[in-house]
Amino acid sequence: MNVTQLEAWLGFTQEAPLDPDLPICDPHHHLWDYPDSLPENQVRKSARLIRHYLLKQLLADIDSGHNIIKTVFIQCGSMYKNDGPEELRPIGETGFVQGITAQGATGRYGNIAAAAGIIGFADLLLGAAVERVLAAHVAAGKDRFRGVRFSTTWDANNDIGSNADTPDLLSDTRFREGFAKLQKYNLTFDAWVYFHQLPDLTALARVFPNTTVILDHIGTPLGIGPYSGKRSEVFQQWKKGIAELATCPNVTIKLGGLGMPLCGFGWAERATPANSIELAKGMAPYFLWCIEQFGVDRCMFESNFPVDKSACSYTVLWNAFKRIAADFSRDEKASLFHDTAVRIYRLSGKH
């Protein structure tokens, strides 16, 4: 399937936006640009189908009738510098996104504050020396740089795939020395771990109670490879990990990411895309458990686009989220869809 075929496939399931006036801050999307000529093995797995996802493509997805006010860009290893010290090359991504936000500020693309917050990558394994990298990110992102994401997903099975070389990265002495520098710059930490790594993240959060930790994709309950056919077993282990992590007041959680093939729902393999009722049915047990444990003030819905675009359209995804939150009060919905993200990422200023 190519991107044209994907758009055609998504078009088979169309819905009008539910509760279209509800303000939304989308706290998790990516931006990237990979040349069509670049060999597939040099392109991130999540970007092999959609090689170009820039402001134009983002706004095309957002322009769905939902009331998207602000968004947050999350690092994805795109547009790094190709020269200079290795540790400073990720600054290129922050500069790239900052340039895109300048396009949005012209008003040509509407009033959406795209990438009002920027989350970049810094190699925390540099230890205390990472401070130089953090300072460079802050300078490059001007008033938008808000934090660091260091994906530490690890699983012993090759079918799953790992971002970390070792299962013990979160407890590594050098990693923690680097992590300690985040507080100096008032930066958040976006964590991506698999469900069986949640206890490791809990341990880290307890050591650094003054640093805001944001768990991406609810800790990714795996559903492929050795976890295929074990959804109930994985769910119970995941629930226990989430409940323990929620005891850390400095941790916030993003509700999303279940559209990734890793989770094993198979939505991307359907003849026609799932509608929002079907998506909500699959997602609700996970998201409602997170809300029960963390409370609405520490939960935020996320799109994870364009990664989750392989499963459904932007409109249908947010409709699913709104169905899951249908029984919550107006104030609770405000937290889940907007206020928590704006507060955690400090987006209340003018952007």
Domains of the chain: 21-344 (3.20.20.140)
CB atoms within 10 A of CB 230: 13
pLDDT value of position 153: 97
Residue 108 has pLDDT above 60, yes or no: no
What tens digit of pLDDT does each residue of 129-152 get?
A: 999 999 999 999 988 999 999 999
Burial of 56 (C-beta count, 10 Å sphere; 0-12/13-18/19+): exposed
What tens digit of pLDDT does each residue of 256-282 get?
A: 999 999 999 999 999 999 999 999 999
Which residues on neighbouring strands pair with residue 301, listed in sequence order? 255
- Peptide bond just before 306 cis, omega within 30 deg: yes
* Residue carrying the six token digits 């020269």: 83
Average of per-residue pLDDT values in the chain: 93
Q: What is the pTM of this model?
A: 0.95
